[in-house]
């Protein structure tokens, strides 16, 4: 039986599911890029980085994990813009990626493609 990320919410609640999603992302990127991959403790002051490859202040790759199960409403889009602005203000990055546990709608993809965040990656 295949279970979606909603199952994590049912079992662990929203905060627990969010943490597990970020750990899943971290484990995936560690398997891809090796020991230079690090997670950043979740906090309001994480600088817009959840997972990075390399070292600060010039990481090779930056990942922002957002646990949005139901697509991108205006609040979620604003959070993405703020995270991107925070990380690009604080660090010299060339590769920023957004990780979501959902499939985006056509409207979401158009928003993303139309440059609502600067084209870093």
pLDDT in tens, the chain (121 residues): 578 889 999 999 999 999 999 999 999 999 999 999 999 887 666 678 999 999 988 999 999 999 999 989 999 999 999 999 999 998 989 899 999 999 999 999 999 888 755 544 4
Burial class (CB in 10 A: 0-12, 13-18, 19+), 114: exposed
Burial class (CB in 10 A: 0-12, 13-18, 19+), 96: buried
Length of the chain as a residue count: 121
Stated pTM of the model = 0.85
Backbone angles phi, psi at 115, to 5 degrees: 75, 35
At residue 121, the pLDDT reads: 44
Residue in the structure block whose two tokens are 């985006």: 104
User: Encoding tokens for residue 107?
Assistant: 């409207």
Residues 6+ apart with CB under 8 A from 8: 16, 17, 20, 21
């Amino acid at each position: 039986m295949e279970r979606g990320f909603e199952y994590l919410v049912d079992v662990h609640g929203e905060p627990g599911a969010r943490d597990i999603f970020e750990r899943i992302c971290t484990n995936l990127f560690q398997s891809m890029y090796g020991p230079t991959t690090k997670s950043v403790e979740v906090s309001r002051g994480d600088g817009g980085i959840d997972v990075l490859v390399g070292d600060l202040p010039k990481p090779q790759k930056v990942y922002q994990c957002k646990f949005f199960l139901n697509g991108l409403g205006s609040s979620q889009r604003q959070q993405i813009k703020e995270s991107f602005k925070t990380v690009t203000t604080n660090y010299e990055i060339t590769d920023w990626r957004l990780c979501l546990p959902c499939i985006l709608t056509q409207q979401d993809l158009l928003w993303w493609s139309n440059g609502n965040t600067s084209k870093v990656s």
